[in-house]
Each structure stands twice: as structure tokens, then as C-alpha cells.
């Protein structure tokens, strides 16, 4: 089809060139016709002159021969008249002849111009014929497979060649008549119209083919899209059907066998809360959270009875794990409650608010101006053998502490007194019978912790046989580990089984247990091997007050704090110099002597207790 279109457009070009040449030839023919016409007029003029001359001579001769002598005069007069007429006629003919000669000269000039134009046209025609021949050869080579169309165009070329020959003959032959020109022009118009019709027909056919192909392609694409849409709809319907079926099956399952809702245990919830809290704490806050100190040690004031700007500023710097209050911090109920609540609001993390409230002699609150239900010495309760009284004592103490804002009671005393009358514990312990002490301890622990206040057994591994006060210096026990297990450990074991939250480790030296003679609060053997492993305690281990001379006379605050953590203690109570102890532990973590994982281990134990009450 493309080759055919090329041929068609070349054909159209040929026709246009032919028409231009034909018009030039027609113009040349007109010039030639005018020249021929002038020549004919010139010839007619010559003939007229000859006829006039011959006619005059013959008339004269006839008139002379026919006239007689008698008519001589009339003849002469008539001859003169005829001569004068002849002269007039000759003058007229001479004038006409001059005009004809002038026209002839002009005709000759026009004829020369026509001959020049004809020669130019023939040269252009010759050049055009060569170009057409070259074009025809190219078309013939590119259309070997289209013989039928080629023959049609070949016939057209023959017609054109014939027409060109006719035009050449017409340009050379100036004597052609007008009817031939009209017929030739009519033929050319018909041929032009025919070629236009053919061209338009071809264009229409091509457009029809293109439109048909487009329609067919559109239908095909539309069919493909429609088919794909149907497939998608089927897939969606199938999926919906499957979903409906699955929902139905699930509904049937739910109806027939309701799935058991797996409840998250309290311990799991607590563990998640604790881990979330610890994970966002900076190392500085983690280390500070291991300390329980006094308000005075926190703020630097001699006596603190309220929580103000100094407390807030200090807590912003040291996020300590708790505060312990003594008699100088307690004035009245409102003051004490307000101080504790303000401090809690200032802290970034939950805090322990502790106090020594054993009942009897050691009772910071009951022995203050605050009116609470008094609880006697633990020795009195122990001597009564009434475990119910021990439980009620624990409930009483825990209740008023809770009401004031405390959440930690450093009680009960779980020591077994060996030397009655000589022990510094005096009336603070339940007695010398390990079993009795165990029963009393477990009931007091349950009573205190039943009020959401944590209890703390003290003073592991037992100081009931010691005659020295460790506030004043070093104390030592000679008991072996087995002897301790059969006596001193029994009340502690009972307290552990009752779920006590904290156990305080004393500074007593047990050389039979730790051959190095390290104070128990700094001994890994006592804390980790005996208390953690042998007795199975999983709660918080806290040291006794590190400002006692049993420690401060032999260790710096920094050394004592680091040793206690390395030994397995979770919390450090009242170091002699808090800031030095804090810096020492932080530096030990930073230089790798204590791992941060070890700090996190202690914090998990601490925060399980702090968040347990909130979770409930």
C-alpha cells in the first residue's frame, strides 16, 4: 500500500507538470495562430491587388475592341472616367497594402517570439521527460509485486506520452484548427478529473482501512479489558465467598467452642512495665536509683522537715531510689504527709519512703507527736506466743504508715537473741527460740505487707549473739554456716516464704562463712551464695546503714558502695558521703568494673516492688 501511494503522488506530480506545459504550448499556439492569420491576410491583399490590375486591363482592352470609330469620343470620355476611378481604387489599394505590410512586419516579430518560446518549452519538455523516465524506472523497480497497478500506471504513462507527442505536434503545427484545441482541452480536463477521482478514492480506501483497523483494535482491547474485569470480579467474588465461608466457619467455631482468652498474668504485666521503665532511664538515674538516703543527705541541709525547692533541685540531679525519715523529720501528721507527697510529686520515678517502725522502742512515728495506735515491743508479743497478736501488730503499723504516705517499713527484726540481757537488740527481737521467732516474723510480715507497705527483715545473717553495736564499730560472730542454718536462718527463711519484699544485710563479720573477714553487707559469699542461692531469696537486698563505723572506719564511701554492689546488694542505705558513693558506683559502671546489666538486674527487683502496688 505504501509503494502504491508513492506512485500515486508521483503520478499527480506528473499530471500537474503536464498541465503547465500544455498551458505554455497553448500560449505558443495562440502566437502561432496569430502569425498565420496575419500571413493569410497578407496573401489575400496580394491577390486583391493582382485581381484589380488584371480586371482593369481586361476592361480597357474590351472597351477598346468593342467600340467603333463612331464612338471614339464617348469612349475616350468614358476611358478618362474609368482611369480616374482606377486611380482612386489604386490609391485605396496602396493604402491597404501599406497597412497589410505593417501588420505583416508585426506578425513576423510575434512569430519570432513564438518560435523562441516554443523552443524553450521544448527544452523544458525534454528535461521533464528525462525526469519522468527516471521516476518511472524507480517506480517500476519498487513495484515488481504490483503488476496490475503497474500496468494501469504504465497505460497512463502511454497516454501521457501520446498526449505529449500531440502537444509537441500542436506546438510545431500552427495550422491546427480550433476544434482540435477544444477537444484536447476537454480530454485533459476529463483526465485530470479522473485522476483526482482515483486519488480521492485511494485516500478514502486508506482511511477506511485505517478506521476499520482502529475499530477492530479497539474492539479487541475492549474485549481484553472486559475479560480482565470479569476475571477480577470473579476473583473478588471468590475471595468474598471464601471470606464469608471463613467467617461462617469462625462463627460456627465460636458458637461451638468459644476460644479460651489467654489472660496475661500479673507477673507478666509487671515485668513489661518494669522493663519499659528501665529501658528509658539514663545511666546516671539508674545508679542513683540504687540509693536510699536521708532528706538531709539529699539536700545538704542539717534538718529537713518539708520538701521545697532544695528537694526538687536535688531530685533533678540525683534521682535516688528512696528516702528514710527519722524523728527530726517528723513534726505532725499534716507536715509529714505533705512532705512525703510533695517529694513523690517532684521525683521522676517511683520512690521508697521508709522508716524504722518496729513497734515498741524503735518507732519513729509512734514515738512522735503524731497520735497513732501504739504497738508494744516485739519481745512482749513473742513471749505471749500469740501469732495473731503479731499479725495484728503488723497490720496496725502498716496501716498508719500507709496513711501518712510511707510505703516501706524497715521491720520486723528477724534476729534470734542468744544472750538475753546482753544483746544490743534488747526488746526489738521476738526471743531466743528460732521457731517462735519464725512464726512471729511471718505473721508480722503478712500484716504489714497486707496494707501495701513493704516489710524488710533485718539483720541477716543474724546479730542476736553480738554484744557490740555496729554503730560504734566492728562486730563479729563465731557461728559456723551450719549453726546459722539451724538457728539464725530459720526466721529469715519463714519471712522469705511469707513473701517479704526486702532483706537487710548487716555489717557483722562471719569469718566461718567468709574467710576473708569481709563484713556481710560487702560479702559476695553471704549475699549471693547464701542468701540468694541457699535460701532462695529473689527480693531486694539492701545494706544496713553504710555510715555505721563498722563500715566507715574501714572503707571509704566509694569503696563500700562499689563492694556492696559487686557482692550482690541491690540497694545502698545511707552511705557516709552520698555524692562520693554515687560517683564511685557510676565510675565503676563506666570503666567496666560493674556492668550496666548488673545495675539493671537490681533495678528490676526494685521496680517490681514499686510498681506492684500500682498494678493492683
In 3D space, the residue among 14, 309, 284, 300 whose CA is nearest the CA of residue 135 turns out to be 14
Task: Rounding to the nearest 10 degrees, give the CA dihedral for residues 97, 100, 105, 109.
Answer: -170
First to last CA, the chain: 92
Given a contact cutoff of 8 angstroms between Cβ atoms, the answer to whether 488 and 429 are in contact is: no
Task: Tell me the three state secondary structure of residue 411.
Answer: coil
Per-residue confidence band for 494, with pLDDT thresholds at 50, 70 and 90: very high
Given a contact cutoff of 8 angstroms between Cβ atoms, the answer to whether 357 and 409 are in contact is: yes
Give the Cα separation of 351 and 466 in Å (integer): 33
Give the Cα separation of 340 and 356 in Å (integer): 15
Q: In 455-497, which ranges are continuous DSSP H helix?
A: 481-486, 489-497
CATH code for residues 268-615 = 3.20.20.300
Give the Cα separation of 160 and 17 in Å (integer): 11
**Interval 56-70: pLDDT, tens:** 433 433 433 333 333
Per-residue confidence band for 613, with pLDDT thresholds at 50, 70 and 90: confident
pLDDT of residue 178: 67
pLDDT of residue 217: 77
Higher-pLDDT residue of 116, 232:
232
Given a contact cutoff of 8 angstroms between Cβ atoms, the answer to whether 505 and 529 are in contact is: no
**Interval 269-324: pLDDT, tens:** 889 999 999 999 999 999 999 999 999 999 999 999 999 999 999 999 999 999 99
In 3D space, the residue among 163, 233, 227, 198 whose CA is nearest the CA of residue 21 turns out to be 163
**Interval 128-141: pLDDT, tens:** 676 666 666 655 66
**Interval 429-467: pLDDT, tens:** 999 999 999 999 999 999 999 999 999 999 999 999 888
Residue 477: enclosing H or E segment and its boundaries? strand 476-477
Give the Cα separation of 193 and 601 in Å (integer): 107
Looking at residues 92-112, what average pLDDT do you find? 48
- pTM reported for the whole predicted model: 0.60
pLDDT of residue 438: 97
Query: CB pairs under 8 A, 24+ apart, for 448-451?
Result: 448/394, 448/395, 448/397, 448/398, 448/409, 448/411, 448/412, 449/394, 449/398, 449/499, 449/500, 449/501, 450/394, 450/395, 450/398, 451/395, 451/398, 451/399, 451/401, 451/402
Burial 135-146 (b: 16+ CB within 10 A, else e): ebeebeeebeeb
3-state secondary structure 156-187: HHHHHHHHHHHHHHHHHCCCCCHHHHHHHHHH
Does position 24 have pLDDT exceeding 50, yes or no? no
Give the Cα separation of 382 and 440 in Å (integer): 7
pLDDT of residue 132: 61
- 606 CB contacts (<8 Å, ≥6 apart)? 289, 290, 321, 540, 570, 571
Domain-wise residue ranges, the chain: 2-176, 268-615
Range in 202-206, 316-320, 482-486 with the lowest mean pLDDT: 202-206
pLDDT of residue 13: 45
Looking at residues 338-366, what average pLDDT do you find? 97
- The fraction of the chain above a pLDDT of 90, given in percent, is 53
Task: Tell me the three state secondary structure of residue 129.
Answer: helix
pLDDT of residue 71: 39
pLDDT of residue 456: 98
CB atoms within 10 A of CB 359: 26
Phi, psi torsion values for 581, nearest 5 degrees: -65, -40
pLDDT of residue 331: 95
Give the Cα separation of 448 and 378 in Å (integer): 14
Amino acid at each position: 500500500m505504501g509503494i502504491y501511494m508513492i506512485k500515486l503522488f508521483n503520478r499527480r506530480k506528473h499530471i500537474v507538470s503536464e498541465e503547465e506545459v500544455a498551458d505554455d504550448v497553448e500560449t505558443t499556439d495562440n502566437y502561432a495562430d496569430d502569425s498565420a492569420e496575419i500571413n493569410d491576410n497578407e496573401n489575400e491583399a496580394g491577390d486583391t491587388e493582382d485581381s484589380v490590375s488584371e480586371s482593369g486591363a481586361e476592361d480597357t482592352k474590351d472597351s477598346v475592341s468593342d467600340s467603333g470609330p463612331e464612338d471614339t469620343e464617348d469612349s475616350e470620355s468614358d476611358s478618362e472616367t474609368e482611369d480616374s476611378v482606377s486611380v482612386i481604387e489604386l490609391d485605396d489599394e496602396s493604402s491597404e497594402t501599406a497597412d497589410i505590410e505593417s501588420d505583416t512586419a508585426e506578425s513576423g516579430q510575434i512569430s519570432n517570439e513564438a518560435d523562441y518560446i516554443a523552443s524553450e518549452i521544448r527544452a523544458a519538455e525534454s528535461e521533464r521527460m528525462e525526469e519522468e523516465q527516471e521516476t518511472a524506472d524507480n517506480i517500476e523497480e519498487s513495484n515488481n509485486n504490483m503488476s496490475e497497478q503497474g500496468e494501469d500506471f504504465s497505460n497512463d504513462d502511454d497516454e501521457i506520452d501520446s498526449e505529449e507527442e500531440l502537444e509537441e505536434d500542436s506546438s510545431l503545427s500552427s495550422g491546427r484548427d480550433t476544434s482540435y484545441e477544444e477537444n484536447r482541452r476537454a480530454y485533459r480536463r476529463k483526465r485530470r478529473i479522473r485522476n483526482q477521482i482515483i486519488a480521492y478514492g485511494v485516500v478514502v480506501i486508506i482511511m477506511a482501512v485505517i478506521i476499520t483497523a482502529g475499530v477492530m483494535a479497539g474492539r479487541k482491547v475492549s474485549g481484553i479489558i472486559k475479560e480482565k474485569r470479569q476475571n477480577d470480579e470473579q476473583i473478588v467474588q471468590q475471595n468474598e465467598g471464601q471470606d464469608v465461608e471463613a467467617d461462617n466457619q469462625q462463627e460456627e467455631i465460636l458458637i461451638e467452642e468459644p476460644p479460651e482468652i489467654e489472660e496475661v498474668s500479673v507477673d507478666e504485666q509487671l515485668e513489661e512495665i518494669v522493663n519499659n521503665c528501665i529501658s528509658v532511664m539514663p545511666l546516671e538515674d539508674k545508679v542513683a536509683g540504687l540509693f536510699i538516703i536521708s532528706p538531709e543527705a539529699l539536700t545538704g541541709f542539717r534538718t529537713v522537715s518539708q520538701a521545697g525547692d532544695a528537694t526538687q533541685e536535688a531530685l533533678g540531679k540525683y534521682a535516688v531510689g528512696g528516702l528514710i525519715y527519722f524523728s527530726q523529720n517528723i513534726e505532725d501528721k499534716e507536715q509529714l504527709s505533705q512532705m512525703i507527697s510533695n517529694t513523690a510529686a517532684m521525683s521522676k520515678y517511683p520512690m521508697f519512703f521508709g522508716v524504722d517502725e518496729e513497734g515498741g522502742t524503735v518507732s519513729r512515728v509512734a514515738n512522735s507527736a503524731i497520735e497513732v495506735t501504739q504497738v508494744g515491743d516485739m519481745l512482749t508479743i513473742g513471749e505471749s506466743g500469740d501469732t495473731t497478736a503479731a499479725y495484728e501488730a503488723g497490720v496496725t503499723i502498716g496501716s498508719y504508715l500507709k496513711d501518712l504516705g510511707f510505703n516501706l517499713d524497715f521491720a520486723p527484726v528477724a534476729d534470734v537473741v542468744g544472750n538475753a540481757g546482753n544483746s544490743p537488740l534488747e526488746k526489738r527481737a521476738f526471743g531466743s527460740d528460732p521457731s517462735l521467732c519464725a512464726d512471729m516474723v511471718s505473721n508480722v510480715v503478712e500484716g504489714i505487707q497486707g496494707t501495701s507497705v513493704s516489710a524488710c527483715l533485718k539483720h541477716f545473717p543474724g546479730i542476736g549473739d553480738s554484744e557490740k553495736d555496729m554503730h560504734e564499730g566492728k562486730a563479729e560472730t563465731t557461728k559456723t554456716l551450719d549453726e546459722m542454718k539451724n538457728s539464725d536462718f530459720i526466721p529469715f527463711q519463714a519471712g522469705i516464704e511469707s513473701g517479704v519484699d526486702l532483706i537487710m544485710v548487716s555489717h557483722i563479720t562471719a569469718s566461718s562463712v567468709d574467710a576473708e573477714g569481709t563484713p556481710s553487707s560487702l560479702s559476695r559469699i553471704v549475699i549471693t551464695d547464701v542468701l540468694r542461692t541457699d535460701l532462695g531469696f529473689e527480693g531486694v537486698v539492701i545494706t544496713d546503714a553504710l555510715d555505721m563505723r563498722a563500715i566507715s572506719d574501714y572503707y571509704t564511701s566509694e569503696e563500700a558502695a562499689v563492694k556492696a554492689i559487686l557482692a550482690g546488694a541491690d540497694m545502698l542505705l545511707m552511705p557516709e558521703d552520698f555524692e562520693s558513693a554515687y560517683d564511685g558506683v557510676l565510675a565503676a559502671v563506666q570503666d567496666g568494673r560493674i556492668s550496666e546489666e548488673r545495675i539493671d538486674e537490681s533495678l528490676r527487683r526494685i521496680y517490681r516492688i514499686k510498681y506492684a502496688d500500682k498494678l493492683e
